[in-house]
A and B are shown apart, each in its own frame.
Chain A
Amino acid sequence: MMKNILTLILFFALYVSLIAQQSPKKNYSKLNINCKTCHTCDVPTKTDPCLVTCPRDKMTTVYQSADKTPETIVLDQLVNSYGPVYFPHKAHAQMAEMGGGCESCHHHNTSGPILKCSSCHETSRKRGDIGIPDLKAAYHRLCIDCHREWSHNVSCNTCHVPKKDLKNVKDEKAQKKYYSKNYPIILEPSKIVFKTNYEKGNLVTFYHNEHNNKFGLTCTSCHKNESCATCHDLSKNSNTKEKTITVTKSNSDNHKKCSSCHQIENNCSMCHQDKVAEPFNHGKQTGWALNRFHINLSCAACHGEKLPYKKLDTKCISCHKNWNNETFKHSITGLQLNEIHSQLSCEDCHTNNNYSAKTTCNGCHDNYSFPKQVPGKIVGKLN
């Protein structure tokens, strides 16, 4: 009974502070939220609102894209022995997209405007409602649990600028520079070797940046619901380009990331091998080496977005459908055609549109052959 009353009092306090923040005319029954989000009974009344206990994850409705959020937020309400904290909000919002989202900090924020922390968290530690942490504790709790996970310390100066240094951090650029020395630079790993316990091939070699570049991935495509320490952990020496990780997590957890794109059933050997694999080589693996133009393209540029990728035929015209003697700039091959030859259609010299085979001059000339005779001017290295 006592507990119920206390819960009610707690909620009332929260409710009052929310009301105080928002327009007093707001009618909650008209808002697009399910009543059951906050009330447990069908007919909540003023005397018995039958409120649920803190549905932290259900109440939150802050869904803002990270890029639209403020770059820096100055936290200066509690300035005492330290100066203000210049909180790089956008950077944290972007990182939050890889784990937790906005609600990892903006908890209990019901539909409506985004509330300031101080709307609920009082600035004084000596206060009536001790059920909710005060503002100092609220700030610190949000920051420090992630920060100490990767930094393994609880140093104040990671976020707080000591008063003597305040003059050095007047503008945003200086603030960024000041803080950057506190943070490890995260290098994108190039090669990760996972040691697994799969007998028929215990090593999985993953070329991290190759995957990103080839498949046009961003961090958030794979990194979801992850702890900051996955990338930032200072003690695990995460800042190396090549690393070996011994896999301890369960099978399904490990496979989830790959299986969202790759078909993994009965396809173990695609990743699992008994030696460290070479990086992907189009020529070796498909029999069709990429030339200097194709090598720079993402896989999707030729194979399309749909996975698994289909095998393409090797005829240029299969992809370059609109190339003809007028649209194709022949000089790019190292040979600039003279006026007469540029009038001809491609297959007059490239028999059957086969561009890897030797060209023929026989259609018009007797005893001519390329490159003995040149139908124009050599302008670069011939392919």
Chain B
Amino acid sequence: MSGSSRRDFLKTSALIGAGITGLSISSAKAAPKNILSENRMGVLVDTTVCIGCRQCEWACKEAHDLPAGNIASYENREVFYNMRRPSENALTVVNQYSAGKGSDLPVDVKVQCMHCDHPACVSACIVGALSKEENGSVIWDTDKCIGCRYCMVACPFQIPAFQYNKALDPKIMKCDFCFERTKEGKLPACVEICPVEALTYGPRTELISIAKDRIKRDPDRYIDHIYGEKEAGGTAWMYLGNQEFAKLDFPEPGDKPAVGVSESIQHGIFAYFVPPVSLYALLGGIMWINKHRKSSDEEEK
């Protein structure tokens, strides 16, 4: 028993060591699940339909055991005075912007993880805690996550949030596309509650044709751009809008998968930045080996 765990440890330490000395790291990383399924699901967010009721914020918290408070309190409009970002306590938030073309009404934009087709966070994660699943969700394993925050840096949409207020074992938090709910055949909590169905859940390919159809039918209502169809190599969550997305604080990551996804750059990162934990692991491993060598030496004596 102790022999086998010792063997594993030696192997991991050796591989990390190899990474540090500039050899290929990709074999050292626990290979993450990174599936790009034909039938992956997505959500089309129509910002011209969203009314900014923030019920999705409430439902998301309820579904993820985060303190949600009274749903009536979400009618408060004052939160819109400040721009908010998803955080470890709110995996999705709605921000409000001034009116776009064809309407006097303000525009409300729900923000959460985009569930990228080529997720930079998955590639960046050194312990393989993040994975892209068959249904399109990008989720993470809390047990594996070591809180290194590489995903935070890698994400082109600044999504993963860090549990700063947790002293012990802080982890990364983000929208998980309601992986547990969809596994049971339920809709994501936010999609289910939305009173106006500003969020349409369905196969990504179908959503793109629905989006194109809406733009074609109502060219006065929409600008001709499906945000997320191509951005960062394509995302599961996509947006329709009546003004340039940059005006709505959407980043412009370009059409290529984000930096950090392509292996060569990743190698570069790992060649120069050694995650502190791996260093500890290496040192710890050496100490452990030394200690055991000593004790076995003693036994042998």
Interface, chain A (partner B; CB < 8 A) = 2-3, 6-7, 10, 53-54, 56, 125-126, 130-131, 133-134, 136-137, 140-141, 144-145, 148-149, 152-156, 227, 229
Contact = CB atoms under 8 A, between A and B. Distances in A.
Contacts of B187: 125-126
Given A125-B192, A130-B200, A148 B213 contact: no
B49 interface: yes
Contacts of B212: 3
Interface stretch (B19-27, B115-123, B202-210, B288-296): B202-210
Contacts of B75: 153-156
A54 B201 CA distance: 22
Contacts of A137: 194-197
Contacts, number: 63
A134 B193 CA distance: 12
Contact of B213 (A6, A133, A229): A6
Interface string B196-231: 110011100011011011001100000000000000
A6 B206 CA distance: 9
Q: Which of A10, A141, A154: most chain B CB closer than 10 A?
A: A154
Interface string B213-255: 1001100000000000000000000000000000000000000
Decide if the interface of chain A is mainly helix, strand, loop or mixed.
helix
Q: Which of B51, B104, B201, B216: most chain A CB closer than 10 A?
A: B51
Contacts of A2: 209
A346 B151 CA distance: 103
Interface string B176-193: 000000000001000110
B63 interface: no
Nearest to B108: A154
Given A140-B51, A229-B104, 5 more contacts: A6-B209, A53-B213, A125-B191, A137-B194, A144-B196
A149 B213 contact: no
A3 B209 contact: yes
Contacts of B216: 53
B202 to A, nearest CB: 5
B213 A141 contact: no
B104 A149 contact: yes
Nearest to B75: A155
Contacts of B105: 145, 148-149
B140 to A, nearest CB: 26
Nearest to B200: A130
A17 to B, nearest CB: 18
B67 to A, nearest CB: 21
B210 A130 contact: yes
Contact of B51 (A3, A148, A229): A148
Contacts of A6: 206, 209-210, 213
Contact of B201 (A130, A133, A152): A130
Contacts of A56: 217
A154 B200 contact: no
Interface in B71-100: 75, 77
A114 B235 CA distance: 41
A144 B207 CA distance: 24
B52 interface: yes
Contacts of B192: 125
B53 interface: yes
Nearest to A145: B105
Q: Which of B53, B207, B216: most chain A CB closer than 10 A?
A: B53
B258 to A, nearest CB: 28
Q: Which of B51, B196, B212, B216: most chain A CB closer than 10 A?
A: B196
